[in-house]
Structure 1
Amino acid sequence: MSLHLTPLPAARFDEWRAASRQRLIDGNRRSGRRPGADAVGHVEHTFDELFPEGVATSTAWVASIVDAADGELGTLLLALNGQKLVLLDLVFETTSTDAQRDDLLHGILQIARDRGATQIAMPLFPQDTAARAFVEGRGFEVASIQMVLEPLPVREVAGHVDVRPMTAERFPRFVAASEEGFAHDLAESGRYTPEEAAAESHRQMLAELPDGLDTEGQELFTATVAGTEVGILWFGMRRRDGRPQAFILDIEVAAKQRRKGYGRELMHAAERAARRLGAESIGLHVFGFNEGAVELYEQLGYRRTEESLLRDL
């Protein structure tokens, strides 16, 4: 193996940190994942958490990517999060070859094994061609996708679905089903064990709906056709670069009502409700295995702002 990873000298850490910080800010802004000041706040918080002891922090590593023949090719940032080794920043100063990328993966896998990790995770912006060349064909799978619709379109569509605010009587059944469904999807994505997924789903439900149906900024709806319930819709009002955004937290068409176009109509209803509440965009998260949903969202004009990739050891 001609390529190896060597710890970045402490004397270079501050210079690397400034450059990496700016790369991640620029990446967030260019992709639309976190525009404007949102990108700065997120990246600064990330670095504060990653390096509480500066270069001496034991759970995050910065390495030089060195080729025996070509010298230093670039740098990478790795961080241990539970049993995941996360590749947060990868930069090649020169174009890398397939052989060099294979060697790089071998080096990262060895670091992961040495630290007891069972997976390698990597966030990826759509425009990051060098990082995408590294993951392609090397066992990584898309675990989840962040998407945004901006600006909100004005559609002239005839609706057949009646979408109304969820009632207090319907709410308990919704919570139970939504929490169970999200836990299943978390486990299916490979990001959590079934036990971890159940705990994480419950935690997020409590965090989003601390006051139940009366939680401020949370909008929950049921959809019916001719008096028969066909689905549910839930989104929360958030801020994106200082402007209001609706973020879809759950959207579900009843199992017996699928393949009738109701999913598309629920998404149209989300646009109307979001616009009525002053939102200028809609964001959402979708699991990578849900290819039908991804296709629908892209047909509706949503674009990918970030993908989370996973590779099992």
Structure 2
Amino acid sequence: MLVLRAMTQDELEARLPVLHEEYADDELRAGRDRPETVRSNVAALFRQLLPDGVATPGHLLFSGVDDGGAVVGWIWLALPGAKRPQAWVYEVQVDPPFRRRGFGRALVLAAEEELRSRGVSELGLNVFGHNVGARSLYESLGFSVKSITMAKDLA
């Protein structure tokens, strides 16, 4: 059992450094940035996306809490708006001690219920091609591929 509760600003600030590092590493692995610029680009992106932290309009940040009261991870959603006609998953993170126990699935399913209660009818996300575990989770939850970006290293 897992419930969502609104994330506090302190919780978000504690999680952002890890998110920045992991996203920067993913951007490099995907070949979408250079080592000398990736960290500053990622920091700028997140400042743009969440200028007011947890109070940023149109964004929902939740901590996932298990039935014992432990925070097991978090999820960041954006509501439909001018940029996208559907809600969007920006991040799903399960904390290391709680991984491989179904909490990623539970976070997404709880988020879907939250969005349905708000009248949202579609949820989208991007996943890095090299993140096989996440891709498998999303496919098992009924997400389908809408587009594929491909690249070839010519070096």
What is the TM-score of this pair, normalised by structure 2? 0.90
TM-superposition CA deviations, 1:274-298 (whole Å, max 9, x none) = 1122211001000001111111111
**What is the aligned counterpart of 1:237 among 65, 75, 79?**
79
Structure 2 residue 155 is matched with structure 1 residue 311:
no
**How far did 1:176 drift?**
2.1
Aligned to 1:208: 49
Distance 2:115 2:101 in 1: 23
Change over 3 Å in CA distance of 1:200–1:284 after alignment to 2: same
- 1:197–1:161 Cα change, 3 Å: same
Shift of 1:239: 3.4
Q: Distance in 2 between matches of 1:161 and 1:214?
A: 23
Please name the residue that 1:270 is paired with: 111
Q: Which amino acid aligns with 1:264?
A: R
Amino acid at match of 2:144: R
Structure 1 residue identity aligned to 2:6: P
**Take 1:177 and 1:266, find their aligned partners in 2: how far apart are those partners?**
19
CA deviation vs aligned residue, 1:90-140 (integer Å, no higher than 9, x gap):
xxxxxxxxxxxxxxxxxxxxxxxxxxxxxxxxxxxxxxxxxxxxxxxxxxx
Structure-2 change in CA distance of 1:242 and 1:228 (3 Å): closer
In the aligned structure 1, how far is the partner of 2:52 from the partner of 2:9?
12
Q: Given the two structures, how large is their TM-score scaled by the length of structure 1? A: 0.46
Equivalent position of 2:37 in the other structure: 196
Deviations 1:232-268 (A, max 9, x none): 100111238985x210001111112111011110110
Retained in 2: the 8 A contact 1:184–1:194? no
Q: Structure 1's 199 and 273: CA in aligned 2 closer, same or farther, altered over 3 A?
A: same
1:219 aligns with 2:56: no
The reply on whether 1:183 has 2:37 as its aligned counterpart is no
Q: Which amino acid aligns with 2:76?
A: W
Q: How many residues align?
A: 153
Larger fraction in strand: 1
CA contact 1:238–1:246 (8 Å) conserved in 2: yes
For 1:20-59, list aligned pairs within 5 A. none
Q: What is the RMSD computed on CA atoms of the aligned residues? A: 1.8
Q: List 4+ stretches of structure 1 deviating above 3 A.
A: 239-243
Change beyond 3 A, Cα 1:272–1:169: same
Corresponding residue SS for 1:306? coil
Identical counterparts, % of pairs: 33
Q: Is 2:19 the partner of 1:172? A: no
Structure 2 residue matching 1:200: 3-state secondary structure: helix
Post-superposition offset of 1:162: 2.3
| CA distance in 1: counterparts of 2:125 and 2:84, whole angstroms | 18
User: Unmatched 5+ residue regions in structure 2?
Assistant: none
